[in-house]
Structures are given as C-alpha cells and as structure tokens.
Structure 1
Amino acid sequence: MMDEVEVAIAALMCKDVVYKKWKSNVRFVYDCFTNHKLVWPSLSCRWGSQFEQGTYKNRQRLYLAEQTDGSVPNTLIITNCDVVKPGVAIADDISQFNEEAQSPFVERYKTLLHPGEVNRIRELPQNSNIVATHTDSPDVFIWDMEAQPNLDPVNGAAMSRPDLILTGHRENAEFALAMCPTEPFVLSGGQDKSVVLWSIHDYITSLGLTESGSSSDITKDSPKLDSRGVFEGHDATVEDVQFCPSSAQEFCSVGDDSCLILWDVRSGNSPVVKVEKAHDDDLHCVDWNAQDVNLILTGSADKTVRLFDRRKLTAGGVASPVRKFEGHMAPLFSIQWCPDKASVFASAADDGFLNIWDHDTVGIHENARGKKNPSLFFPHGGHRDRIMDFHWNPAEPWTLASLSHDVTSPYGGGTLQIWRMRDQLYRPEEELEAELIQHKENMKTFGLRAKSKRSKKRSKKSSK
C-alpha cells in the first residue's frame, strides 16, 4: 500500500497530465484568457468597478491580497485589469501564455498594508469601492479603497488604518463574510459558532459613499461599530454566510457542524430552519440564487455540491436536496451562482478545478473519474494547485477571475487567471444554429456578388 508521500506524488503526476491536456486545448475553448503569476499567494479575489471602456477591451478594478512570510507586511491590493471583449482575442495569443510571467493586462494600482493576513474580501454592492476584509482576529475591517493612501511595503510605512472596525465576535472570524445586496449591512461568522450582523448606515458619510469621501489619516484610531445582532445556533465554526438577495432581514449560514441554517431578524436571534445534516461532512461554502431566491447552494468537505429549495427545508434530521452534484475529487472551498443565468453556477475545490454547472442540464461532460455527469458542462483546469477563491465578473458576462495557491510549485506564490469560455459552449443550440444559417446566407450572397463581378470582367474581356 502506498504511503502518504507516494499518494501525493501520484496525485501531482496525474494533475500534471491533466494540466498539459488542458493547455493543449486552450485556444479552442476560451474566448479570452489571462494568466498572471503572483509573487505571494492570495486567498481572495473580488471584482471592483469598471472605470474605462474601450474598443477592444475594458478596464476594471480587481481586489487581491498578499499573504507574505513576514519579511514584508501583508497587503490588500487594488489592480487594474484589462478585460478583452468577446470575439477580440486571437487563438494563438490565448494559447501562448507563460505560466511564470506576470501579465501586462494586470497592473498594480494601489497597495494597503493590512494588519494581518487577508483571508476574505467582500465588496459593498451599493459601492464596490467599499470592501470588508477578514483576518485572523475577531474583528471585521471596512476600507474605502479609493480614499486610502498608497503605501510602500518595503519602506517601513505604518500599517493602513481601516475606515471602520466591526466588533462583536468573541473569537477569530476568519472566512465567513458577506455584504448585503439591498442595504449597507455586513454579515460574519467565526470560531465562536456565532453569526454577527452589522449595519454601517451610520458611517456611510465617513466611508466615502458621498462626495466628501473618507479620512485617510492613518495616524488616527479607527472608529468601531458594535453589532446589530448576534445569532446563535451552530455547534462548530461558521465557515460561510450569505444574505438573501431580496431581503436584508434574511440570511443563511453553514459550518463545520454540517448544518445549513436559515435566519430571519424579524423572528429573533434563533434559527428559523436548522438542517442538521445538510452534508456528510463539514460545510465550507454557501450561495443564494439572486434570480430565484428559493434556491440555495452548499459545498462541503464531502466533495459534493447540493442544491436546496428553502420551501422544502424542514428543521432537524437529514435534509433532502433538490439535486446533488458530484465531480470534484477534493473538498470544496467556494461556490457561486452565475449572475447571467439563473440555473448556472461554479464551484472550486482543493483538486485545482473550477467547474461550471447547469442544473437544467445543458450538456454532458465526463467528470474527473471519467463518469458522465449531465450537469457539468465546463471544467476549468488551468490551475496546477488548489483554488482558493473565484468571482464571476458582474460587468462582463460569463467572465471569471480565479485564484490558486501554488503550494506544490517550485516558484511558490499564486496564480491569478481571468478567463471566459467560448460562447458556443453556453449559448442555446437554436441560437447558434440560427447564427450559422444567417452566416451561410451571407456567404451565399457574397459568393453571388463575386460571381457577378467576375462575369462582368469576362464579358468586358470578350468584347475587346
């Protein structure tokens, strides 16, 4: 029997084979693809505002972080990214990327010196310049990214000062973090087994949501805000939280107790519904469908994704998901619904794959075990190592940013990829057929015109 080292080596060799096969097909399946090598690993990535539109590409903010070894401070970074428009990129350019190079399409714009490692970044939907970050502490930090000064991490500068510090957790809150789509509310979960809710409405002016902007004086102490409510119901660490897209009063949470809990502020601080065995292992991630608020996705250490209908949830016992999705070979880290189609979602895991699914069954694709999976229609295999986070681009349909921590790479660091699959992979068949028919008709018309021109030339020659 192979020991753990042999198993690890075998897994790396298998992944290397899969990666090489993926790379050979990049030009055929991607409409755009950017690979950017990071010096330090980053655990989170989030799209910010789109601030420039061009003929062939648009420019957009993207938030990253640097998890350093202590020789320089940990950082929170704003980058400017060029996102190529559909149908513009050349296939040869897409396939000829250098894995170990930094892309000219990703440019560092501003650096904040973050007090501790950045575990999670979330932007405020009402103003994406405002972000919240989690670190290894009980507090949540709020930042006005545009108003914060740019600092040099190697110049001995003082740490950046958060615009607001949210307090309320009794123990570290490392990963569970969400911003409300409808109100300036923040939600967090932590090792204290609690879910904590804040409203930053009273601090909107100081956070730069008005023309006055926020204070960037890092010598002052950051203001602190107490929670609006603490919600108890989990029996272990809360790993992820999410607001209901249509209500600031409703939210859900998942944790290491394998529970999915639905909450409603109007009903008090106790769970409205507690599904005690939503998965067979720890739950790591959850997302609520913005286009169909009855649908909730969960991802687990049991390597599966499950789809729940909140109308069919009952408190206690084993839950019955609407669908169960199998395809990953390792625990899931993040999951998110596609903003462009209600039935599509993506999941990322420790196996290095970012899978795109459609629970309405758009196509049939083999999963990592070679088994036909009717809901998996695009596995992104561009990362050599574990995928820590990803984010659908809200401004560019079907475009994603994904982030891996290159643990096994001899170069270390991480990899950021910005990509969009070819539209032939997700557009309806009837739409593609209609386009081909129209293209064929155009070619016929062009052919007839060309023929008529040749005929005129021949007639002129014959007359001479």
Structure 2
Amino acid sequence: MSKRTADEEDGGVALKDGDRPMDIDTDNNNAAAEMGEFEDEFEDEFSDDEIIEAGVDGRPDAEREAEEREAAAMDVDASGAPAGGPGTFIVGRTRLEPGQVLAPDPSAYDMLHSLSTPWPCLSFDLLRDQQGDNRTSYPATMYTVAGTQAQSDKAGDNQLMVLKFSSLGKMQKNDGDSDSDDDAEDGGDDSENVDSDPILESRTLPLASTTNRIRAHQIASTDPTRPPTTLTASMTEAAHVLIHDVTPHLAAFDTPGTVITPQQNKPVCTIRAHKSEGYALDWSPLHAAGRLLTGDNDGRMFVTTRTDGGGFVTDTRPFVGHTGSVEEIQWSPSEASVFASASSDGTIRIWDVRSKSRQAAITVQVSTTDVNVMSWSRQTTHLLASGADDGVWGVWDLRSWKPSAAQAAIQKPTPVAAFNYHKEQITSVEWHPTDDSIVAVAAGDNTVTLWDLAVELDDEESRNTAGVEDVPPQLLFVHYHANVKEVHWHPQIPGALVATGDEFSIFKTISV
C-alpha cells in the first residue's frame, strides 16, 4: 500500500476512442500533484491602474461608454469570443497570451485539491462508505476505483486502482474573505477550517490492458455492522470486461497489516462476448445482486447477471441496432428491465431486456455528431441528459419519446434545453444526486461546468448581462481541469465533485 501527499508533477493525457497518452516520466508521478495556478475565469484581464473611472477623463459618460462598446466589439476572435483584450474572460473561449496561466479564486471554492497517480486514469467511480450521508465537516474522506491508461509495454504497469482520498481540508480563505460566521453555524471549529495537504492511499490490482471505463456496484451486507461487497467492472482495450471483488482492498485501508493474496487480485469473472473494445458500461441500480450492461465499438450490447451462488452468466444474444459504436449505456433508475444507449451514429435508443427481438423500442436522433455521454436523472426519471462531439449538451423529456410500430423509425424531438457553450466534445455529464435542476458537464476545452436549469432571466437581469451574451444564465460555475475526461458527484458529501484527467481534482464550490 502506498501513502503519499501531493507534489507538483502531472500525469500523461488519457484520450478517448483508443488513443493512448504519450510516455510520461513515472519517476516524477508517484505522488499527488499540487493544483496548477490559473486565473479566475471571470477576472478582468487588465490591471487596476488601467481602469478609467466614470467621468474622470472629463468626457460625458455617454461618449466614453460608446467608445468602450465600440472597442469591445472589435476585440473578438474568429468565433466571436473575446480575443484576450480588456473585457470578460471566458474559460474555453478567451485566449491566453504566451506565459499567462489561470489561477483559481479561493473565495469561489469551499474545497479544492489535486492528486495525481503514476499513470492518468480515463475513468473512475466513487464509492459509498460507512461514514454517513450528508457529511459537511472537514477534513473529508472519499473512496474511489479507477483504471489506468499506461503507455508502457511493461507487465503490471496498467492497474485497477482502489483509492482513498483523505485529509481533504476546507479551502483556506484570505483575511478579508473569512467565513467564520458560517463555520460557527455549521458547528465547525478552527482545526476543520484550515487548508491541509491531501493524502492519497492506494491498493492496486494488475491488469494486462488499459481501462476504457470502470463502474462499481455495491451489495449491501445482511449484517449492518459489516461493509458492503464492492464489485468493479472494467472495459479494457483488449475487448474483455473484467469483474473484480475489491472488498478486501477497501478494508485494508483501515486495517493495518492486511495482506492481499494473489488470488484476491484476480478477476472473479471475465466477459469475452465482445469482439472489439468499448466504453459503455453500467450496473443496474435496481438489481441488488448485480446486473451489468456492456456495449462495444461494433454496436453490440450484452447483459451479464450475477447468480445466487455468486457466479456470473452472460446472455450471448446481443442487442443490436446502432450503426456506430456504443459510447454510453445506462439502466433506467425506475424500471428494472429498461435501459438506454447512446451511439456515435447520433442516436439514443431505449431498450427492454425482455424483448425477444433484441431490437430497440424507441430510436431518437439527438445529434448529427457522436453522442459521447448520457445521464439519466434519478430524481425526475423522465429526464435524460446527453452530450455530443460538437460540444452541445441537452436535456430530453422521455415522455415525448413514443414507441414506434416500425422499429427502424427514427424520431427527432425537441430538447427541453440545449446549450452550445462548450466548443469541444462533451466528455462527461451527470445529474446532481439530489437536485433535479443541477447538472455537471465536462468537455474537451479543459473545463468542468455546473449548470442550474431552474434559472431564468427577467428583463432587468437581461439588461445587466449586456456584454456577456455568450454566457448562458444557467451557467453557475466554471472549473479549469487539464484534459478532463469524467466528473462525478460524491453520493454522500453534498455538492462535492471529483474529476479525472491529467490528475484527480476534488472540489466543492460555494455556489452549489
């Protein structure tokens, strides 16, 4: 077991669709990394001595303001976004000058930490623990599983990682930004409210191939004093799906001296039904024993079920219909036999595992580009969010999607909401676990954005946003994260998120 604190090195770049990161120096990446400095996304890019106060130059305000508007209109790039001169800085749009970096605004975060692993991880999943729900005290602790994307021919460099993040302290505020009153109301003390060095502990299981996606399933114990059984499913570059029982690896974090045997590192099941690699993977939230969906780049999907004896059986009859790769797959949170799939053919399809035809019940065209990711709301189960290669993400009302007598029929409904803010591919989207209006989105423009779909502007507010029309009013927060690939809300720490890319970013904003 390794135990370390953050240092300043970055990992390699984890890429999608079979692309692998370049070689990186593993000697410098065995410790957790400090967060790189970057500017506040909404901070003006000019110094205080360049700001002209109203009226101080002797001209009428109307004349001066007209000149400023004309200058702002000229200061845009080819996309119409600010070109880096005076004006509103928009992460992912405004260009940084050579040598410029972005630094986070500490006052915007309740918690912010960065941790790195020896190799970058394209995918991870957060685990529930026995420390309680709705936790608000600091320092915080989290458990996760992740699969590495090692660019190496050495056996054992690729790993399934079982991770414990601890000593996650609250963001230390400047003297002028003290939130002592809020801390007192929350029952916190001084020792909880100072920033601390995060600690990353890991247990690793060797893998023969890189991991494209990993998802975990926890089976509650009949004894409330015992932890759940934790299973992981890993979609690998080798086209195999590996199921591991990582329960002993998690227990080892809190039981010093625990020795993991070679047998405990081996998969309890290997699914070989797929002939090509894939990225689509999901455990059913309504099948307690364990039911797994997997989809590959050939457009084929399979169901694997855990038996009463603890074994696994895969139904070798595939679900087919997509004309491109299956990029995302998710079970319905309310109907045990229903699932949805998203594909590079631009469609989302709804399926029923009881169907003898193995064909989709509903096919909907949601994009003209690859649909990379999808998230089914667990609070309002008729809402589905999707994100595509063109940077557009949207929300769909499933009540407007109707089964068709002709299985090949393709519907083209109108989304409840659609946003074209990101200018690179959407790599992750996830609904807030308890608020059906909040969504987290990650994109190839190195940002994680938080959105509140309940926000609407009245006329007065619309006038006050003049000059930042490119920023939707529903956008709550922008977090910079290099090469971000996946983002998840923590299920037991309200408002806390974890993202993976070149490294892990753990943060909680004051706005959510």
In the TM superposition, 1:250-289 aligns within 5 A as 250-268=338-356, 269-275=358-364, 277-289=365-377
Shift of 1:173: 3.4
Shift of 1:21: 7.1
Contact 2:92 2:447 in 1 (8 A): no
In the TM superposition, 1:401-420 aligns within 5 A as 401-404=498-501, 414-420=502-508
Q: Report the residue type matching 2:128 in the other structure.
A: S
* Alignment pair present for 1:190 and 2:289: no
Q: Distance in 2 between matches of 1:271 and 1:326?
A: 29
Q: Report the residue type matching 1:302 in the other structure.
A: D
Q: Distance in 1 between matches of 2:456 and 2:508?
A: 17
Q: Distance in 1 between matches of 2:247 and 2:96?
A: 40
Q: Distance in 2 between matches of 1:345 and 1:312?
A: 21
Shift of 1:58: 3.5
- The alignment covers a number of residue pairs equal to 366
* Alignment pair present for 1:393 and 2:497: no
Shift of 1:140: 1.3
Q: Equivalent residue for 1:243? A: 331
Shift of 1:123: 0.9
Q: Distance in 1 between matches of 2:209 and 2:172?
A: 41
SS in 2 for 1:109: strand
The 1:336–1:12 alpha-carbon spacing in structure 2 relative to 1, beyond 3 Å, is closer
The 1:242–1:40 alpha-carbon spacing in structure 2 relative to 1, beyond 3 Å, is same
More helix by share: 1
TM superposition score normalised by structure 2: 0.65
Contact 2:218 2:230 in 1 (8 A): no
Contact 1:58 1:84 in 2 (8 A): yes
CA RMSD of aligned residues (A): 3.3
Q: Report the residue type matching 1:417 in the other structure.
A: S
Contact 1:80 1:107 in 2 (8 A): yes
In the TM superposition, 1:111-190 aligns within 5 A as 111-126=204-219, 127=228, 129-147=230-248, 160-169=265-274, 171-183=275-287, 184-190=290-296
Shift of 1:248: 2.0
Q: Report the residue type matching 2:198 in the other structure.
A: F
Q: Report the residue type matching 2:124 in the other structure.
A: C
Shift of 1:340: 2.3
* Alignment pair present for 1:47 and 2:152: no
Q: Distance in 1 between matches of 2:387 and 2:92?
A: 24
Compare 345-354 and 61-70 and name the one that shifted more: 61-70
Contact 2:145 2:216 in 1 (8 A): no
Q: Equivalent residue for 2:35? A: none
Which of 197, 201, 204 is matched with 1:108 structurally?
A: 201
Q: Distance in 2 between matches of 1:321 and 1:13?
A: 25
Which of 32, 37, 45 is matched with 2:116 structurally?
A: 37
Q: Equivalent residue for 1:354? A: 448
The 1:13–1:317 alpha-carbon spacing in structure 2 relative to 1, beyond 3 Å, is closer
Q: Distance in 2 between matches of 1:132 and 1:192?
A: 19
Shift of 1:372: 3.0
Q: Distance in 2 between matches of 1:294 and 1:192?
A: 28
Q: Distance in 2 between matches of 1:397 and 1:59?
A: 13
Residue-by-residue CA offset, 1:357-397 (whole Å, 9 max, x unaligned): 1221278998x98613022111112x1x3211111100111
Contact 1:52 1:58 in 2 (8 A): no
Q: Report the residue type matching 2:346 in the other structure.
A: S
TM superposition score normalised by structure 1: 0.71
Q: Equivalent residue for 1:78? A: 162
Shift of 1:309: 0.9
The 1:194–1:369 alpha-carbon spacing in structure 2 relative to 1, beyond 3 Å, is farther
Q: Equivalent residue for 2:39? A: none
Contact 1:298 1:335 in 2 (8 A): yes
Contact 2:390 2:425 in 1 (8 A): yes
* Alignment pair present for 1:378 and 2:468: no
Shift of 1:306: 1.5
Q: Distance in 1 between matches of 2:478 and 2:410?
A: 34
Shift of 1:52: 4.8
Q: Distance in 1 between matches of 2:453 and 2:326?
A: 27
Percent identity, please. Answer: 23
Shift of 1:30: 0.3
Q: Distance in 2 between matches of 1:143 and 1:19?
A: 45
Q: Equivalent residue for 1:407? A: none
The 1:178–1:73 alpha-carbon spacing in structure 2 relative to 1, beyond 3 Å, is same
Contact 1:51 1:59 in 2 (8 A): no
Q: Report the residue type matching 2:212 in the other structure.
A: N
Q: Distance in 1 between matches of 2:233 and 2:500?
A: 19
Compare 323-332 and 266-275 and name the one that shifted more: 266-275
Q: Report the residue type matching 2:435 in the other structure.
A: K
In the TM superposition, 1:201-220 aligns within 5 A as 201-204=307-310
Residue-by-residue CA offset, 1:252-305 (whole Å, 9 max, x unaligned): 001111011001123331111011x21121110111110111011111002101
Q: Distance in 2 between matches of 1:188 and 1:164?
A: 14
Gaps in structure 1 of 5+ consecutive residues: 3-10, 96-102, 151-156, 207-223, 405-413, 427-464
Residue-by-residue CA offset, 1:74-114 (whole Å, 9 max, x unaligned): 011111112647xx442259x9xxxxxxx942322311111
Q: Distance in 2 between matches of 1:267 and 1:46?
A: 30
Residue-by-residue CA offset, 1:201-259 (whole Å, 9 max, x unaligned): 3453x6xxxxxxxxxxxxxxxxx632275211101111100010112200000111101
Q: Report the residue type matching 1:327 in the other structure.
A: Y
SS in 1 for 2:324: coil
Which of 426, 432, 443 is matched with 1:332 structurally?
A: 426
More strand by share: 1
